[in-house]
Structure 1
Amino acid sequence: MDHFRKIFFFLISIFITSISCSQTEISGQVFGDQDEKLSGAMVMVSKDSVSSILAYGISDANGKFKIAVKNGSNSLFLKVSHMGFGTFKKTIQNKAQTLEVKLSPSSESLKEVIVKSEILRQHGDTLSFSIAAYKGKNDRVIADVLRKLPGIDIRPNGQIFYQDEPIQKYYIEGLDLLEGRYNVANNNLSAEAVSRVEILENHQPVKVLDSLVFSERASLNIKLKKDVTFSGTATAGIGAAPLLWQTKVTPMIFTKKQQAIVTYQSNNTGSDVSGEIRNFSIKYAGENFDIDNNDWLSIENVSAPPFSTERWLDNNVHLGSANILHRIKEDIDLKLNISYLNDYQQQDGVTQTRYFTPTDTIDVVENTNNDIFLSKLEGLLTLENNANKNYLKNQLEFNGSWNANRGLIDRTDTQIKQQLENPFFGIKNDLRLLRTLGKQLITFNSNTGFTENNQDLLVQPGQFEAIFNEGDPYGKIQQLVSSRKIYTDNSAGFTKALGKFTMSPKFGFSIQNQQLDTDILIEGEEVLEADFKNRNEFVQTSVYLKNSFRFKSKDETWNLRLSTPLEFKSFHLEDDNFEDSRNLDRLVFEPNFFVKKKISAFWEANASAGLRYNFGELQQLYYGFLLYGYRNLNRYNAPISEEIQQNYSGGLNYRNPLKQLFLNASYSYAYSENNLLYSSNIGENGTTILEAVARNNSFDNHSFRAGGSKYFRKLKTTLKLNASYNLSKRQQLLNNTLAEVNTQSFNLRGSVEAEILSWLIASYSGNFSTYTSGFEANNFQQIENQQHMLDLYFYPKDNQYISVSGEYYDNSLSEKGDNYFVNLDYQFTFPKSKMDLNISWRNVLNIDEFINAYNNQYYYVESSYRLRPSQVLATLKFTL
């Protein structure tokens, strides 16, 4: 802890002192024509009236400003502007001084500020980063460079965030080829082929809505160096021990009318290539249905370690993916995204789970060995016409998987076999149409889909003897599940501008029909008792009128949105097995308000408030018992669940492109009231029976987040810091005792990317977190976790490097919580070619297990995961 605190405060001190460093200080105060103090005035200093900006600042609440200028010229050019006032221009001496600036009224408002520097440009709502300026010696693909850009954060799963919010679109030359599956481009597009990366703030991806509906999210656009670009990567590797292989080929082509990314990847080195096809799409408002697989059943798994899969994942994977875009004519695109994944994985570890109840603690120790077979086919065909006056987007999507899991658990008293078959199929069509009609915009949406899921779980020997076999041991139990879903959601409306206001009413209806059939077999014989069967049909219907009002001020400093959806929801559950039914009809009003204020060119504030109703899905409605896992038995013999949730949030963002400083902070509060309380009865051997009880209860949650990033140009260093704190409280029934469960969590993470010397590059990232939970005022467990990773790259020559990486992991719960890892790499780049030879020695210390721990509301888990042995891999990497 002490060394972590020292590192943290050292980084903070660098962060602060770098900002305050100055040479010539120019200060002053800005007044209006009535001698009023003007806040938010833009003050810019340059060498002369035509040169680029040297420094700039914003006047505070008292109209005061202070700017540090580094320039050797005798004179400087001062420019001061404010919305609603004329621009003040004056040549001043290059010396420390205090000025008084008076602005005269003007009928023209300042529409945008253009700030340019060598490596980062701002033009209106677009920030443009020069890739050449940030690219380091060991950066090969665009993801390597994006990690260094201030304001941008790439999470471990590959998702890209800007100012702590996920990006909504990933464009390449303004085209959305990948529909949210952008990892395949991010991890394979050569950084040499890219000229700039643009952040499109407040980006509206639908052109016809650009002047009508403002967006709160940012998008990312990749600008290439050439109009016709051939790029990509290829890798071939072999190693030991055991015998290792790695192959990867990802060719790409980008022209003005065609784009294509095709990839084939295969390895047994632990690289999880499924992340290349992960979908990060952000749904547009009102899209309530999808065709994701729902896991009704599961086998007991070992919790995965929190670091690179190449250290622990025992796999044999093959992935093929094709992404093709053809521009039929101006603004009309036809896209195909298709992928197939086949993966065999093995898990081996020991898990100790301790449950805390108001009266006792229960320990469960499991030695787990799992074989996991994944087979998944996904496809998406998109036709999009994104024109200035009309918009059409039709997507036909299918999703099929044929997964199977095998598990063997050794406990002190028995050995348990698990076998799960989990086939799934889903298909949907999503149509969105917007068309101008006179001075208004007509909208139509239709989303229709079907899913089918049949699962089969076999457990040997049988469990829950007291419930299924009068307390006597028996050989096997089998849970069968068959579920189907068909839905349609259709709406029509219009959008009309009324001066600075925009009104968007929409009328629609939706119908969803779900069926669930479950059976339990004991020793191959069907259990006939009603408590162990389900024959459910659940129908949800909705008729809604959703209206949205938006306001955007003329100078674009204010953006407001008020949504006032009114919806009649009807739920009907019919259970043929129990000959019973449940019905619920509700008229709900779910208002939502959002406001964003552009305080100045640097500062921006936002706030939101909303009310939302959530009702039970079929997954929480079945009457009969369902064996979810070998020691988990669930049923929800209770009324349809109703939850009323209030959400409030506020945030403050600062971004200074010239200083390359980005800061953000936010607070959110959620409070909900529920009519159902979930009861967990935990047996001495860890078996858990989960049921729902009709009882009013509440839940509240406070969440704080803050973060910042800064690029130090002279040091060629990027520093990023993020912190979050979460506090929650809810009621829980544990072994028939009502308890109030409180949780607190804190997380601090940071990273530094630095080119220390021409022959030495360093990269550090760290994460410190705590999680505390307890009943009412008594905490029963607190866990501290630390992760520290340091990479050093030594360049004896420009075309060679040797890297040493060290990792340290620690948790306060385990006696053996310290984990150390060391890796060595050597890379040789062949002159006048685009080929690297890399020799990697992973897990030099040959650490064979990782001790991990985490806790939840009323239990904690300590797991020991078997790791891959020390191994050497030689790869040839080609940049296409």
Structure 2
Amino acid sequence: MSIFIISVGYSQKEISGQVLDDQDEKLSGATVMVSKDSVSPILAYGISDANGKFKIAVKNESDSLFLKVSYIGFGTFKKTIQNKSQTLEVKLSPSSESLKEVLVKSEILQQRGDTLSFSVAAFKGKNDRVIADVLKKIPGIDIRPNGQIFYRDEPIQKYYIEGLDLLEGRYNLANDNLSAEAVSKVEILENHQPVKVLDSLEFSERASINIKLKKDITYSGTATAGIGAAPLLWQANVTPMIFTKKQQAIFTYQSNNTGSDVSREIRDFSINFLGDQFTIDKTDWLSIQNISEPPFSQERWLDNNVHLGSANILQRIKENIDLKLNISYLNDYQQQDGSTQTRYFTPTDTIDVIENTNNHLYVSTLQGKLTLENNADKNYLKNQLEFNGFWNAARGVIDRPDTKIKQQLDNPFFGIKNDLRLLRTVGKQLITFNSNTGFTENNQDLMVQPGHFEAIFNDGDPYGEIQQLVSTRKIYTDNSAGFTKALGKFTITPKFGFSFQHQQLDSDVFLNEDDEVLDVNFKNRTEFLQSSVYFKNAFRFESKDETWNLRLSTPLEFKSFNLEDDNFEDSRNLDRLIFEPNFYVRKKISAFWEANASARFSYNFGEIQQLYYGFLLKGYRNLNRYNAPISEEQKQNYSGGVRYRNPLKQLFLNASYSYAYSENNLLYSSNIGENGTTILEAVARNNSFDNHSFKAGGSKYFRELKTTLKLNASYNLSKRQQLLNNTLAEVNTQNLNLRGSLETDIWSWLIANYSGNFSTYTSGFEGNNFQKIETHQHIMELYFYPKDNQYLSLSGEYYGNSLSKNGDNYFVNLGYQFTFKKPKMDLNLSWRNILNTDTFINAYNSQYYYVQSSYQLRPSQVLATLKFSL
């Protein structure tokens, strides 16, 4: 058997030959690898057939190639050969040393340069239905609880289906609903540059994923209908999909009251290109007091009634030109019930707050993107019009030992922006133009009955009601032009541009319905102008053998800030010329090892959220104001790491260290009252913050055992100053996190999955650690297959923490699934929370307080669902 691996871009050469031992016996199954040299990534590989013969097609511009042939029990053959079509005879001598390399299993993995192609059939288990089930088993890939995909501990930048980016960052919709049966391979595109015209000019250290389908025309998707009891439950999901060479579409309607959070289906994980500073994300100025959500599956605690509709359409107008529409509407009603005990630590005292909470949350969201993209070899154009509309509200009641508090919040938001990015080849250089313009409006209304902060708002006398109104508007634009030019192995990218942002904040406080608080300290009439002119230049270098990649950015920017408040008849101004260098280097040490390092110096300046003069009631017991100069923060970031990637062994390892240090001109003061009310203000005082972070992780697929093992560890150590009740304190924190997972097909009739998480968090003032918490999480799932078309599942979960006396939480679930072949569908019966655990005791701590919460869970319930693959 021979394997053909072809790289693209250069004239094709064919390397063929025969592998023999020292007795001229033919060796079947020898691994043959071709690379540029002994340390470069593998360009192509093959396996000798029954006659010892191999044949490999290579496309590469190098004058020479490096050939490596290995076989178990024999010494490795290494030779530099000419880059031309040729036939070779390779003789291997017996070796007393065991061979370090394993055989390439062609049915599992193929490699073409920086592209790893994993066979879905090799990883797909009996109970895997959608492509997300398969992805989580692939070594190197990690899917976080919110659905975001990480590769080697870094988020992926693109999620393609047959090379097309239909979903623009909202890839959960495909990942959770695309049938694994329709997919042939999962491709990991390492060091992927999504803009074709930049492919040879700007290297990328990020990876993307491409889903390869079995058919040129694919109809797929899922349909689910379910009903249950305790209380009456329903679940519906209809998600049809179509994929052709020129068209792709995914539609969905989903609804349930079973605790499934369908909003994750439209969560946006887009990674904007460097320099995109403005977004239309919603800012919550005001909030009601919420309960800490449990750190496990929402189906166990989320009391919801949700409806989601989404349409995603891609039309290829002509070669390389795509028109995309992504639009979604979400309507959700949620209830929260529980209690919270918060303990604040100050340098002189401890303060306890006990709250029983009942909240009703109303979410109504309309979001959309319209995108025109031309991604050609010599030109690039992307114009994206995006809008977000929110009509959210919340109602809540807090029962405290001394009083009952009602909260009402209306929280509408609207934002729209247009992004244009243009790259065009003119002569021997690439001309670039970027424009980002948008507008947002936010009007929020918080009502609290009765009000707190009596000494501040009502001369120490109790009062029945307080209302906080906030109205904000923002308009911004950022425009730049430049060029990119290659000078040998160097690339320079100078860019000139300007940006402008105007923000307006109006806020008012009212007491007892119509009585306006006339004191100037409780109003804001603020206008904040930010403008900048910048020259940003980037130098890039890539060695001929691609073992060295360097990037140095040297942006120079003049920033101007002007804040005026008509209510206080005051203003603040700041002009700064800033230099923010950024350096990155990557070295490929060998075909499997690489190292990287980076250094960055940057500035952060205050936004309007930290600039208002008058008091703002953020929540019923949180009062903020920032009557201080415009904040300035100087940050230094340094990092370094090593990575090991051996596709032949399906082994991926990584380790990194980073250090961050910042200096600030403002220190934030928290004054905590005996009833837990907190007044946060900014004080002009120089202070610093530093943080050390260590990360390590690895994943390995054991083919013989059909097992994927993943382990990750992280440790953070930080130090900062804090003013607590007018006393300066240095707050230290330490955080250790260990997590791992094991997915294995033990026997044909038994599949077992395990995941665990252990963390410790310690915080305290200098020389006095006042709190340490340990948390545990363990999940075990067993699937028993008496026959191929049915299984019985049993799962157990444990969650615990060291702070709570009753912090041990246990859950048991039982399920049965029968698969009908005609028509193909799954009948699933599930019994969730068999132990009927009704509350979850959780605890967490922060810099100077800890919170212990008891969350009301969903009761024991039974659900029957029918699931079809479309």
Using the size of structure 1 for normalisation, the TM-score is 0.90
Cα separation, partners in 2 of 1:559 and 1:464, compared to 1, 3 Å: same
Residue 364 (str. 1) matches residue 353 (str. 2): yes
**CA–CA distance in 2 between the matches of 1:205 and 1:273?**
29
Q: State whether residues 72 and 98 of structure 2, in contact with CA within 8 Å, keep that contact through their aligned partners in structure 1.
A: no
Q: Which amino acid aligns with 2:380?
A: Y
Q: State whether residues 41 and 81 of structure 1, in contact with CA within 8 Å, keep that contact through their aligned partners in structure 2.
A: no
Partner residue of 2:443 out of 454, 457, 464? 454
Matches within 5 A, 1:75-474: 78-80=77-79, 90-96=90-96, 117-474=106-463
SS in 1 for 2:282: coil
Aligned position for 2:534 = 544
Q: State whether residues 44 and 80 of structure 1, in contact with CA within 8 Å, keep that contact through their aligned partners in structure 2.
A: no
Residue 715 (str. 1) matches residue 705 (str. 2): yes
Residue 603 (str. 1) matches residue 602 (str. 2): no
Partner residue of 1:501 out of 460, 476, 490? 490
**CA–CA distance in 2 between the matches of 1:44 and 1:281?**
34
Q: State whether residues 130 and 197 of structure 1, in contact with CA within 8 Å, keep that contact through their aligned partners in structure 2.
A: yes
Aligned-residue offset at 1:833: 3.1
Partner residue of 1:638 out of 625, 628, 632? 628
Partner residue of 1:557 out of 528, 542, 547? 547
Cα separation, partners in 2 of 1:517 and 1:839, compared to 1, 3 Å: same
Aligned position for 1:826 = 816
SS in 2 for 1:315: strand
Q: State whether residues 483 and 515 of structure 1, in contact with CA within 8 Å, keep that contact through their aligned partners in structure 2.
A: yes
Aligned-residue offset at 1:463: 1.1
**CA–CA distance in 1 between the matches of 2:323 and 2:193?**
20
**CA–CA distance in 1 between the matches of 2:644 and 2:87?**
24
**RMSD of equivalent CA atoms:** 2.3
Q: State whether residues 69 and 77 of structure 2, in contact with CA within 8 Å, keep that contact through their aligned partners in structure 1.
A: no
Aligned-residue offset at 1:69: 5.2
Residue 859 (str. 1) matches residue 849 (str. 2): yes
**1:617-668 deviation line (CA, Å, top 9, x unaligned):** 0000000000000000000000000000000000111010010000000100
**CA–CA distance in 2 between the matches of 1:764 and 1:683?**
45
**Runs (4+) off by over 4 Å:** 37-49, 66-71, 80-89
Q: Which amino acid aligns with 2:618?
A: Y
**1:269-325 deviation line (CA, Å, top 9, x unaligned):** 000000000000001111000111100000000010000000000000000000000
Q: State whether residues 322 and 336 of structure 1, in contact with CA within 8 Å, keep that contact through their aligned partners in structure 2.
A: yes
Residue 485 (str. 1) matches residue 474 (str. 2): yes
Q: State whether residues 47 and 76 of structure 1, in contact with CA within 8 Å, keep that contact through their aligned partners in structure 2.
A: no
Aligned position for 1:754 = 744
Residue 869 (str. 1) matches residue 859 (str. 2): yes
Aligned-residue offset at 1:88: 10
**CA–CA distance in 1 between the matches of 2:38 and 2:75?**
23
Q: Which amino acid aligns with 2:471?
A: S
**CA–CA distance in 2 between the matches of 1:291 and 1:846?**
42
SS in 1 for 2:837: coil
**1:823-878 deviation line (CA, Å, top 9, x unaligned):** 00000000243200000000000000000000000000000000000000000000
Residue 581 (str. 1) matches residue 571 (str. 2): yes
Q: State whether residues 177 and 239 of structure 2, in contact with CA within 8 Å, keep that contact through their aligned partners in structure 1.
A: yes
Aligned-residue offset at 1:39: 7.4
Q: Which amino acid aligns with 1:268?
A: N
- Identical counterparts, % of pairs: 80
Aligned-residue offset at 1:115: 6.9
SS in 1 for 2:249: strand
SS in 2 for 1:132: helix
Worse-superposed segment, 169-178 or 523-532: 523-532
**CA–CA distance in 2 between the matches of 1:490 and 1:689?**
40
**1:346-375 deviation line (CA, Å, top 9, x unaligned):** 000000000000000000000000000000
Q: Which amino acid aligns with 1:419?
A: Q
Q: State whether residues 349 and 864 of structure 1, in contact with CA within 8 Å, keep that contact through their aligned partners in structure 2.
A: yes
Cα separation, partners in 2 of 1:404 and 1:52, compared to 1, 3 Å: farther
**1:547-572 deviation line (CA, Å, top 9, x unaligned):** 00000001101100000000000000
Cα separation, partners in 2 of 1:68 and 1:388, compared to 1, 3 Å: closer
Residue 768 (str. 1) matches residue 767 (str. 2): no
**CA–CA distance in 2 between the matches of 1:851 and 1:786?**
13
Q: State whether residues 760 and 774 of structure 2, in contact with CA within 8 Å, keep that contact through their aligned partners in structure 1.
A: yes
SS in 1 for 2:134: helix
Aligned position for 2:733 = 743
Q: State whether residues 810 and 818 of structure 1, in contact with CA within 8 Å, keep that contact through their aligned partners in structure 2.
A: yes
**CA–CA distance in 1 between the matches of 2:342 and 2:184?**
51
Residue 704 (str. 1) matches residue 694 (str. 2): yes
Cα separation, partners in 2 of 1:824 and 1:84, compared to 1, 3 Å: same
Instruction: Count residues in correspondence.
Output: 817
Q: State whether residues 79 and 88 of structure 1, in contact with CA within 8 Å, keep that contact through their aligned partners in structure 2.
A: no
**CA–CA distance in 1 between the matches of 2:457 and 2:443?**
23
Aligned-residue offset at 1:96: 2.1
Q: State whether residues 754 and 778 of structure 2, in contact with CA within 8 Å, keep that contact through their aligned partners in structure 1.
A: yes
Aligned position for 1:475 = 464
Aligned position for 1:11 = none
**CA–CA distance in 2 between the matches of 1:395 and 1:461?**
46
Runs of 5+ unmatched residues, structure 2? 1-26, 28-36, 57-67
**1:48-72 deviation line (CA, Å, top 9, x unaligned):** 764499xxxxxxxxxxxx999548x
Q: Which amino acid aligns with 1:496?
A: K
Aligned position for 1:32 = none
**CA–CA distance in 2 between the matches of 1:849 and 1:871?**
15
**CA–CA distance in 1 between the matches of 2:300 and 2:446?**
30
Residue 846 (str. 1) matches residue 833 (str. 2): no
Q: Which amino acid aligns with 2:538?
A: S
**CA–CA distance in 2 between the matches of 1:847 and 1:98?**
54
SS in 1 for 2:386: strand
**CA–CA distance in 2 between the matches of 1:709 and 1:403?**
41
Q: Which amino acid aligns with 1:638?
A: A
Aligned-residue offset at 1:457: 0.1
Q: State whether residues 80 and 87 of structure 1, in contact with CA within 8 Å, keep that contact through their aligned partners in structure 2.
A: no
**CA–CA distance in 2 between the matches of 1:389 and 1:40?**
28
Q: Which amino acid aligns with 1:91?
A: K
Cα separation, partners in 2 of 1:810 and 1:231, compared to 1, 3 Å: same
SS in 2 for 1:96: coil
Residue 572 (str. 1) matches residue 571 (str. 2): no
Cα separation, partners in 2 of 1:810 and 1:80, compared to 1, 3 Å: farther
**CA–CA distance in 1 between the matches of 2:543 and 2:555?**
24
SS in 2 for 1:619: helix
Aligned-residue offset at 1:91: 1.1
Q: State whether residues 40 and 546 of structure 2, in contact with CA within 8 Å, keep that contact through their aligned partners in structure 1.
A: no
Q: Which amino acid aligns with 2:738?
A: L
Q: Which amino acid aligns with 1:78?
A: F
Aligned-residue offset at 1:122: 1.0
**CA–CA distance in 2 between the matches of 1:709 and 1:366?**
43
**CA–CA distance in 2 between the matches of 1:623 and 1:863?**
34
Aligned position for 2:802 = 812
